A and B are shown apart, each in its own frame.
Chain A
Amino acid sequence: MDEKYNFPDKMKMASFALMGIGLLSLIIGFIVSPNRTWADLLVNNIFFLGIALCGVFFIAANYLANAGWYVAIKRIPEAMISYIPIPAVIMILIGVGAGTHLHHIYHWADSKAVAADELLQGKEPYLNITWFMIRMAIYFAGWLGFAFILRKLSRQEDIAPDTKYYKQSLIYSAAFIVFFAVTSSMCSWDWIMSIDAHWYSTLFGWYMFASMFVSSLTAMALIVVILKRQGYLPKVNFGHIHDLGKYVFAFSIFWTYLWFSQFILIWYANIPEETIYYVHRLEHYKFWFFFTPFLNFLMPFLILMTRNAKRNYNTLIFVGGVVLFGHWLDFYLMIYPGVAGHHDHWNPGLLELGTLLGFIGAFAFVVFTALTKANLMPKNHPYLEESLHHQT
């Protein structure tokens, strides 16, 4: 069964237009308010990196769980993986920017600030720009390596029917999960938690992972729905769509659990060095702060609760849009207040919207182009037959 995706010209043009808007917003932003635009770049970059990266996690976790149902939609996370090199480049730019003082996202990168700050001196062995860049290189090397090996094995399996590809994928998946468990946590400390360099939360890695994974699942569900709407993936039935809906539902609750756990422990203990994070957000970003759980918890929880809602393309598209925006806002609230400091308060504006649209365009362009590179339905995967008969 050969089925190749054909990227429609209309969509291509739309994604170029979005990229144009994004580029324009970035240029205007860098002229008007460079520091804020660097933060904007960081928010979008990490958000879309998470979406792409958790595609690898999704594949690896399903390999290890011996899952069969997902094989019919396996090519979508595989296409999402193709986006990882772009955030890698932008992240290196942000790192170089921090090292050369082009921006002040990372307070600890400023040697004058460190000299006057005893706490930062204590953290210097970890939070210094050289070690920061080395760690970044390790993360991206590992993620890209595993991602492309898993994708390559999957495509080789299409050509030659042999279970050795499946067995190799299992081993790489297991290794990736171990690597990802450590690096997903560490990258959240490095790139986000260190913005508020005095503050720390032991839950932060998990919290960011939850945000990344649920965004990734939502993006996957949306891409499957778009492909179905365009008439592709005839073998993907409502069982698969339903299961993706369940994933979005369940991990929205998981995100809420971690969001709330982090908040309640800090609120309860009431230690000033910890509460400062929430004081800052509740004083100046109150609306956005309470708007996130509304978008990320209440909306998917109430709308996706019934079976029919998870099987309906329109509700999935609506909730998907809401959840993706909500998690973008979540990253916004993790990053912006810390970068703005205690004197400025940056509420999301038109330039932020423009950059977000630009990143959506770039992501869509890369992913849908990657979809054209391989068959939409894997061949010869040992669980393919099981997946085609999937029912829920």
Chain B
Amino acid sequence: MSRPSARCLKVLMTALLAVLLAFDAAFAASIVSPTDCSIAYSDSLLVSVKLSDSATVRVTVYKEQTGSEKEVTADDGSVEKETVYSDVDASNLTVNDLAAIAAGKKTDDSGKLILLSTGSGIPDYHDEVFASSVEYSNQSAGIGFYTKKLSDVKPGLYKVVVETLDNRKEVTETVVSYTAVKEKQEEKKSIFESISQSSALKFLQNLLRGLFK
């Protein structure tokens, strides 16, 4: 290959790589924990946000609630409608449900209502602040982490929101992760198969081992 065309090829390749890298480094922040659409059985929640270069983020954790209208009788006898919020019962949510909630659409492309495993559609959620916003700046030129362990976490549906802020504290990107926290399971699958051997075989094994030790 002649020199000028080789150089031309190299420039093109570098340009292509740069374009690809630019697409790759779209988001400066990513949520490592909790994994999006995951289910946790714990009373604590690990929040871990990875920043790929120097950036400032605002991390907030919300507990999702659903509202229901209730009729409240005021002192003067008039009846008012009030919205009362209560925590979402996450005990029956599956990973698919979480994916549907995270997608943010109530109906699919054909207009049909998306149903959760409970049989109902996706309700409107109210964001109740569980851990107030914290700002974190990654000072180093490389990767930085914001980590926090939240304790006293009751079962429910939680949303971690990470907003990347620019110099004027305006939000440039938002990354969200949904996680369902459930009660600790009582029954757990056994990890190890039981090794059962007849006692005679075991005796022979031990005998042989002793002889050849």
| Chain B associates with chain A | no
